[in-house]
Structure formats: C-alpha cells, structure tokens
A = this chain, B = another copy of it.
C-alpha cells in the first residue's frame, strides 16, 4: 500500500493506494468507528463493491445506510442529490455521521457536495472505483452538481477526511472509462512534470492492458502531483487553475452535447488537444509538442477533437466557465510540456483553434 498526504493544515488527509482495500482498510474502519455511515454509490458500482465495502465496516460503524443513485453525468443534479438528503434525514443522520462516496467522479462530486451542505457540513470519505476518480477527482475537495448551462456550477470546496483507492476495482472498469481516466493522467504530466509525462507515454499500452503494478504506479504518480498543487492553493485562487488544462473546452463540449453524452475524460482529452493547439498558435508551445499532446490523447483511446460546432457556440458555452472574467473565458495554456499558465487569448487564435480542432460529430 502506498500512502500519500494532502497537506492542508487541519484539513490534511491521507490518500491510500493499493490492492484489496475495499475489503480491508483499517484507517477507514477507525474513521467509521461508532458512527452512522452512509455509502453513496450508483447502480453500476453497488452490485460490484457495496456489499464488500459494507462488510469491511462490520463491527465498526454503528449503522450503515446505502443510497444508490442512477449512473452518469446526466444525473449530477439537485433532484437526484435530494434523494441523498431524504435518506440521511429518514435515517436520522446527524453532524457526527459519515458519508462514504463509492464510485467514480460523479458519485464523488455528488456525495461530497451532499456532505458539504447536509446540516452545513459533515465528514466524508472518497472510495474511488474509476481511474478518473482515483487519479484526479477524489483528491482536492472539489464537489458539486451541474446546471444545464454549465458544469459544476453549484458546489463547494469540502475536503474528504480520507481517500481509499483500491486499484483492484479498475478490473471491472469498461475500456471507455479507463481511457477517460488516462486523460487526467496525461494532463498531470503535461502541466507539471515532463518526467512523469515520459513515463505515462511509455506506459500507455501497459495501462490500457491494465497491468496492476503500472496502474498503481500511475495512480500514485498522479495523486502526488494533484496533492502538491492542491496543497499550495486549496481554493483555486492561483496555481490550482492549471489543473483545468483542457477543461474549458471540455466543459463546453459536455454542456453543449448534454451531460453524459461524452464522458468527462473524453471531453477533457479533446479539450487538451485544443488547448495545446491554442498554445502553439500563441507561440507558447512548439508544433512538435502540440502534436505530441494530440498523439498521447489518441494513444489513450480518446477523441482528439470536439464536435464541429460553429465557433460562436463554443464561445457562448465557455462564457460561463468558472475561470471566466466578465464573460470572457481564460484558458490554461502550455508554455512548454510540464509548464502551464492561465490567461485570456485573442479571439482570432481561439476561432482558428475551434475551426481546426473540431471533428464531425
């Protein structure tokens, strides 16, 4: 088992990465001890792992409720979240209760937001079961739900007390979801660490074959980068924004197609290719490096361009991006592989990228 830490003063917490943690994880048992526990999961994950996770808490948790949500980004809405509140209230959950998010990024975002606002905030734990959630979304405390007009528009910064990533759960992950997770892995290398990017590039075939040792290594590598950035800027007043590389385009694709049509990681994959292309047009990134980003995304099995919409559609969708200022989006650009920055961009360059990087739907 690998143990990392997110260092945020009194809100610091460990990330545990390893095999078999769904069935046995002492730190999780200790955290659940004598508390009412709600396992929030979805229809896909529940039959696979919920019984096992709950069995691992037997004799520790005072009681365990299970809340099973529908699966998919389309359900990351308040009416679905309200089912969690109904269940917590029906079971008389109080401020000492504990929420456990068991599933991918959508479950983690929703369960985390439920924990953030239930009785103005209770503890929660992330038990991510997708590659995307293990390498990225379970770490850092971003929680929220979607608005039809924009991704994660309502949410909270609410740090988990613990992250438990059992890499064995990646065995049951559909190929499409595995590729989606690789988007965030590539992102971490591209924005912060060329050595890591080289490693990811070399490992892509092994990762797509799900070699366990390589998956564990990459989950740890990505968590280390993410934890480092979050530790320096918990609430995204500065450097944390670089973790949105590919996300300004990606969120526009997700919202424009309707949430759930593309997986988040697929949209981010295409978005990174577009952001790299934009970086090249602004003479920040070499053409060779922009191509390398595209080929990494392609090599992960992800789309390398967004839907072929008129530029104005993209621009309207991006005007509500959370990094926007006065309706004008800011973009995470690469100054080089391994180094990112956030800035506004000239309209012509943006339109050129949108024209060149879109693919017929």
Could you tell me which A residues sit within 8 Å of B by CB distance? 36, 62, 78, 82, 85-86, 89-90, 92, 94-96, 116-121, 142, 144, 147, 149-150, 152-157, 235-236, 319-320, 322, 324-327
Contact = CB atoms under 8 A, between A and B. Distances in A.
A120 B94 contact: no
Contact of A92 (B85, B94, B155, B327): B327
A120 B89 contact: no
A85 B119 contact: no
A147 B92 CA distance: 13
23 contacts: A85-B153, A85-B154, A89-B147, A89-B149, A90-B149, A92-B319, A92-B320, A92-B324, A92-B326, A94-B324, A94-B326, A95-B322, A96-B325, A117-B117, A117-B144, A117-B155, A117-B156, A118-B153, A119-B155, A120-B142, A120-B156, A120-B322, A121-B157
Given A89-B149, A92-B327, A118-B153, 4 more contacts: A36-B326, A90-B149, A92-B320, A119-B155
9 closest pairs, A vs B, by CB? A92-B327, A117-B154, A120-B155, A89-B149, A119-B322, A94-B324, A78-B78, A89-B320, A92-B319
A205 B62 CA distance: 52
Contacts of A118: 153-154
Contacts of A96: 325
Copies of this polypeptide in the complex: 2
A78 B82 contact: yes
Contacts of A86: 147
Contacts of A236: 120
Contacts of A150: 89
Nearest to A88: B153
Contacts of A94: 322, 324-327
Contacts of A142: 120
A95 B327 CA distance: 11
A23 B316 CA distance: 36
Nearest to A96: B325
A186 to B, nearest CB: 25
A99 to B, nearest CB: 13
A31 B142 CA distance: 27
Nearest to A141: B120
B322 A147 contact: no
Given A94-B324, A324-B94, A89 B153 contact: yes
A142 B121 CA distance: 11
A211 B279 CA distance: 65
Nearest to A95: B322
A121 B85 contact: no
A157 B96 CA distance: 17
A157 B62 CA distance: 28
Contacts of A119: 153, 155, 322
A283 to B, nearest CB: 28
A120 B157 contact: yes
